[in-house]
Structure 1
Amino acid sequence: MNSSVLSISLLATSGLVLFLYAVSRLALALRHVAGDRVKGILDRFTRTIPAAILTGTVVTTLLDSSSVVIILTIALVSAGALPFRNSLGVVLGANIGTTISSQLFAFDLGQYAVVAMLPGLLLLTLSKKRQGRTIGRALFCFGLLFFSLFLIGEAAAPLKQYKGVQAWLLKLESPVRGAGAGALLTLIVQSSSATLGMVIKLAGKGLLTLPAGIAVMLGAELGTCSDTLLATVGRGPAARKTGLFHLGFNLVTISLGLLVIGPFTALVLRLAGQADVARQIAHAHVLFNVAGVLLFAPLLPLCQRLLDAWLPDQPRPAPALVGEPAA
C-alpha cells in the first residue's frame, strides 16, 4: 500500500510540476507574441466600463492568465499609462476571461496533447526566427498543459480504493472547509488555474462532488489575489488601489457565494444537470464569476470614489519657476 501511495504521489506531483511550468511558460510566450499590442489595447479600449470589461475578458482569454493581465494592468497604472478608473473594468473582465480555462480543462484532451506539442516542438527547434520559436513554445506549452492534467487524473484514479481519501474529500463539501482548502492550495502553488484543473480532474474521476468542487473553487478565487497584491508592493497609490479592488471584489463575491452556496449548487444542477460533475464545476465557475461582474459593474464609480478617498493620489510637485532655486 505504501508503494502504491508513493507512486500516486510521485505521478501527481510530476503532473502538477509540469502544469505549473506550462502555465508560466505559456503566459510568457503569449506575452512575447502579443508584445506591446496588449498595452495599446488596454489603453485604447478601456475608456468606458463595458469596453474595459470586454477588453479584460478578451485579453485574459488570449493570454490564458487573469493574474498576468491584472499584474500587467497594475504595472500600467503605476507607470501612469492607464488611468486607475479604467483598470477596474479590466479586473472584472479578467475574472470572466479566466473561466475559459476551466471550460477547456473539462474536456478530456490530455491524450491528444501531442497534436499541439509536436508542431510546437518542431517550430521551437527548427525555426530560425524568434517569432516562430515563440509561437512554437506557446503551442508546446499549450499541449503540455493538458498532458499534465491527464497525468494528474491518471494518478488520482486509484484513490477510489482508499476509503480514508474519499472520506477526507467528502469533508470538502463543508463550504468553509472546502474554501479554506482551495485558498491554501492556491497560495502554495500560486495558480488558481492549477487548483481548478485538479478539482475538475478529481471530479472527472468520481472523487469530488459538485458541492465540494464549488467550495474549493470559491477558495481558489481568494487565493489568486496573493500574487496581484505582491505586484502592488513598492508602487504608488493608484496601483495599490487596483490591487485592493481585486481583493475587495473577490472577498465580497466569495462571501456572498458561501452564504448562498446551497441555492447556487441547486441552480447549477438545474442548468447543467445532464452534464458530468467536471463540466458542472466548470459551468459553476462561469456562472459565479459572471454573476459577480454583473453585481459589481454598476458599482464601479462608487468603488472608485471610496478607494480615491481612502488612498488619495500623491500630488505631483509643481515645477520650479525660471531663476528660482528648486526646493
Structure 2
Amino acid sequence: MEEIVPLLLGGLILFLFAITQLSEVMKGVFTKKAEFAIQKYTKNIFSGILIGAVLTIALDSSSAVIILTIIFINSKVLTFKQAIGIIMGANIGTTISSQIIAMDIGKYAVIPLAIGLIFEVFAEKAKTKRIGHILLYTGMLFFGLHLMGVSVGSLEDSDLFREWIARINNNYIQGTLIGGLITLIIQSSSGTVAIAIILGKQNLITAAGGIAIMFGTELGTCADTLLATIKGSRQAIKAGLFHLLFNLLTIAIGLLVFIPFVQLVQLISTTQDIGNQIANAHVLFNVLGVILFLPFVGWMEKLLNWMLPDRKKQPQGA
C-alpha cells in the first residue's frame, strides 16, 4: 500500500495538471472570430449542442466550456437561451475523453511527450510552440493514466480496499455519492471517470459500481459552474442553475432505472471489458439525457426566467 499511494496520487496529479494546462492552451486559440462564430451558431438549440460538444472535445473539459460560456454571458456575447445548447452539448463532448481513456493508450504516452518536448525546445514560432504544448500536455495526460493503471494493480490484495469497493458494488446510491464527492475534491469529472475505468480494466470494480461513480461525477462537476456564477449576471446564474437542474434530473432518472440501464450497457458491450463498459455507459447516459430533455428545454427556460427575471433597467436620471 505504501508503494501504491504515491504512484496513484502522482498519476492523478499529472493527469489533472495536464487537463488544466490543455484547457489553458486551447483557450488561447479563441479569437474574436471564434467568439463571433460561437455567438452566431448557438441561436439554434441543435447547433448550440454541436458547438458545446466540439468545444468540450477540444478543451477536454466540460467545466472549462461551461465556465467559458458563463464568462461570455457576463460579457454579453451570449444569452442564457444560447447557453442552454452549449451546456447540453458539453455533457456529450466530455464522454469522448472516457472513450479515449478506455482505449488504454497510456503506454504510448512517450510519443507525444517526446515530440512535444522537441517542439518546446527547438521551435521559434509561437504557433509551433503552441502545438508542442498541446502534444506535451497530451503525453502527460496519457502518462498520468498509465501511472494510475500501474498503481491500482496491487489494490486487490488490500482488505480495506476490497471492503470499500464492495460497498459501492452493492449500493449504487452510495457509489453515486462517492463519485460526486471525489469529483468535488479533485475538481475533475474526467479524473473521477478515469479512476473508475482504470479500476474496471483491472477487474477491481463491477460495471454497476463504476457506472454509479460515473453518475456521481455529473453532480460533482456542477460545483465549478456554480462558483463561476458568483457575482455574475442573472443570465449567468440561470445558466449555472440550468446545468445543476439538468444533471440532477438525469441522475435521478438514471438511478430509478439503474439496473435495466446497466443491463443495456452490458448487452451492447458484450465483447468489451468492464472499463470499456463504464466508458460506453458514460456516452449512452449523457446522449440519452440530452435526447430525453430536448422537448422540455423551453419549459425549463421559462421556469428559470420566472424564478430569476432579468433586472429592469432604471431610466436615466431616475
Give the TM-score normalised by structure 2: 0.97
* Distance in 2, Cα, partners of 1:126 & 1:182: 42
Counterpart of 1:136 (choices 127, 132, 137) is 132
Aligned residues: 317
1:287 corresponds in structure 2 to: 284
1:276 corresponds in structure 2 to: 273
* Distance in 1, Cα, partners of 2:273 & 2:33: 39
* Distance in 1, Cα, partners of 2:185 & 2:252: 22
1:258 corresponds in structure 2 to: 255
Q: For the Cα contact (< 8 Å) 1:53–1:93, is it kept in 2?
A: yes
> Is 1:210 equivalent to 2:192 in the alignment?
no
1:178 corresponds in structure 2 to: 175
Give the TM-score normalised by structure 1: 0.94
Counterpart of 2:89 (choices 71, 90, 93) is 93
CA pair 156-36 structure 1, distance change in 2 beyond 3 A: farther
* Distance in 2, Cα, partners of 1:36 & 1:187: 33
CA pair 162-111 structure 1, distance change in 2 beyond 3 A: same
> Is 1:195 equivalent to 2:192 in the alignment?
yes
Letter in 1 for 2:7: L
How far residue 124 of structure 1 moved from its aligned partner, in angstroms, is 1.5
Letter in 1 for 2:44: T
* Distance in 2, Cα, partners of 1:37 & 1:250: 31
How far residue 37 of structure 1 moved from its aligned partner, in angstroms, is 4.5
> Is 1:109 equivalent to 2:83 in the alignment?
no
CA pair 159-37 structure 1, distance change in 2 beyond 3 A: farther
Letter in 2 for 1:234: K
2:238 corresponds in structure 1 to: 241
2:228 corresponds in structure 1 to: 231
Q: Deviation per CA, 1:196-222: give whole Å up to 9, x if none.
A: 111111111111110000000001110
How far residue 297 of structure 1 moved from its aligned partner, in angstroms, is 1.3
> Is 1:63 equivalent to 2:59 in the alignment?
yes
Counterpart of 2:19 (choices 11, 19, 23) is 23
CA pair 202-35 structure 1, distance change in 2 beyond 3 A: farther
Q: For the Cα contact (< 8 Å) 1:33–1:135, is it kept in 2?
A: no
SS at match of 2:76: coil
SS at match of 2:216: helix
How far residue 61 of structure 1 moved from its aligned partner, in angstroms, is 1.1
SS at match of 1:6: coil
How far residue 122 of structure 1 moved from its aligned partner, in angstroms, is 1.3
Counterpart of 1:9 (choices 5, 20, 24) is 5
How far residue 317 of structure 1 moved from its aligned partner, in angstroms, is 2.8
* Distance in 2, Cα, partners of 1:169 & 1:37: 49
Q: For the Cα contact (< 8 Å) 1:115–1:143, is it kept in 2?
A: yes
Letter in 2 for 1:82: L
Q: Deviation per CA, 1:149-184: give whole Å up to 9, x if none.
A: 110110000112223312321211211110111011
From the CA coordinates, give the structure whose radius of gyration is larger.
1
How far residue 130 of structure 1 moved from its aligned partner, in angstroms, is 2.0
SS at match of 1:275: coil
Q: For the Cα contact (< 8 Å) 1:33–1:131, is it kept in 2?
A: no
| Greater mean deviation of Cα atoms: 187-196 or 51-60 | 51-60
CA pair 35-143 structure 1, distance change in 2 beyond 3 A: farther
Q: For the Cα contact (< 8 Å) 1:214–1:284, is it kept in 2?
A: yes
* Distance in 1, Cα, partners of 2:105 & 2:148: 13
5+ residue gaps, structure 1? 321-325
CA pair 125-9 structure 1, distance change in 2 beyond 3 A: same
* Distance in 1, Cα, partners of 2:2 & 2:37: 48
Q: For the Cα contact (< 8 Å) 1:268–1:283, is it kept in 2?
A: yes
* Distance in 2, Cα, partners of 1:120 & 1:182: 33
How far residue 31 of structure 1 moved from its aligned partner, in angstroms, is 1.2
* Distance in 1, Cα, partners of 2:198 & 2:215: 17
Counterpart of 2:311 (choices 314, 322, 326) is 314
* Distance in 1, Cα, partners of 2:34 & 2:189: 22
Taking only the aligned residue pairs, the percentage that are identical comes to 43
1:323 corresponds in structure 2 to: none
